[in-house]
Homo-oligomer: A and B are copies of this chain.
Amino acid sequence: MTRQQHAASTDQDLARTVKRSKAPAISRAAAVLRLLGKSENPLGVQAIARELGLVPSTCLYVLRALADEELVSFDPDTKRYALEAGVLTLARQWLRRNQFNDLAQPLLDRLAQTFGATMLGVQTMGLDHMIVVAISQSGQSFQLSTQIGSRFPALISATGRCIAAFGDYSEAELEARFSTLRWDEPPTFAEWKQQVSLARTQGFAVDQGNYISGVTVVSAPVWKARGKPSHALVATGIGSALKRSGLPELQDGLVSAARSLSNQLCGDVSADWT
């Protein structure tokens, strides 16, 4: 069972986005790409159109355009479409010019080695979700498998508490989002709010088996600029194992890594100004 879940992008959502935008074809194209990404096997025109609430002919034109751009592959025999390798090229280009990754990776590697935990670097995307952009596996212990590019709802687990703590969102917004989350051991909203306050004073957040039973997650926010944190460093591991290798030390290491990263990222910006 895979853990990640997106804000269910329904036909309704797509329809609204398409209406508002001045370039609806692009919203449709993105929806098609996401659908093909989710799907286990290649899909035909009708299946895609039905799933996304598109007109088949429009959907066909979208697919042809995407195939021309090598973002989608087309099998002439089966008339099925799937994602194509062109998306890889874009991803590499993004990774290349992303200083967060370059700076975070060695820090994550060191922490993973020291504490035998699986370390993640995540990028926050408002209250919608966060995206895993860097990973370091400890190698020895059994890993909690997550992959680069995975998306999680914004307020879940330890990082969710950080986002809530340092993002100054209204309580109404938070509660609305909170109510849609799925946890193994869901905290009440009151409990969660208290943990968020604690995170605000401590500078990091902990999830002790709420999101996944038996798994402890620690998260510390990273800033690229003043305002809401843009990223977070995350440590995950089996609760008992993390306790044995020293949870307080891990928390300290994580927080100081996150702080040094924030300094470097903000510093680079000011270097551009000169």
Residue of chain B at shortest CB distance from A97: B40
Would you call the interface of chain A mostly helix, strand, loop, or mixed? helix
- Complex Cα distance, B24 from A2, in Å, reads 36
- A contact residues vs B (CB 8 Å cutoff): 17, 21-27, 29-30, 33-34, 36-38, 40-41, 61-62, 64-66, 68-71, 82-97, 123, 125, 131, 133, 147-151
User: Which of chain B's residues have a CB closer than 8 A to the CB of A84?
Assistant: 94
Please determine whether A92 and B148 come into contact, CB atoms closer than 8 angstroms: yes
Contact, CB under 8 Å: B65 / A131: no
The answer, among B21, B41, B90, for a CB contact under 8 Å with A87, is B90
Residues of B near A62 (CB, < 8 A) are: 23, 26
* Cβ contacts under 8 Å, A24 to chain B: 25, 65
Cβ-neighbour of A94 out of B64, B69, B85 (below 8 A): B85
Closest to A58 in B: B23
Partner of A85, one of B25, B41, B123: B123
Closest to A37 in B: B93
Docked Cα-Cα span, A89 to B65, in Å, equals: 21
With A87-B91, A90-B83, A149-B88: A29-B27 Cβ-Cβ less than 8 Å: no
Neighbouring B residues of A34 by C-beta, 8 Å: 89-90
Known: A68-B17, A83-B94. A89 touches B151 (CB 8 A): yes
Residues A131 and B26 in contact in the complex (CB < 8 Å), given A38-B93, A92-B150: no
Asked if residues A87 and B85 are in contact (CB atoms below 8 Å), the reply is no
The 3 A-B residue pairs with the shortest CB-CB distance, nearest first, are A92-B149, A37-B93, A91-B91
B-side contacts of A30, CB under 8 Å: 66, 69, 71
Query: Chain B: which residue is nearest A66 at the CB level?
Result: B26
Q: When the two chains form the complex, which single residue of B71, B93, B150, B151 contacts A149, counting CB atoms closer than 8 Å?
A: B93
Within the complex, what minimum Cβ distance (angstroms) separates A232 from chain B? Answer: 13
Contacts of A37 in B (CB 8 A): 89-90, 93-94
Q: Please measure, in the bound complex, the distance between the C-alpha atom of A41 and the C-alpha atom of B99, giving whole angstroms.
A: 12
Contacting pair B21 A64 (CB below 8 A): yes
CB neighbours of A133 from chain B (8 A): 85, 88
Question: Which single member of B22, B29, B88 contacts A95 (CB below 8 Å)?
Answer: B88
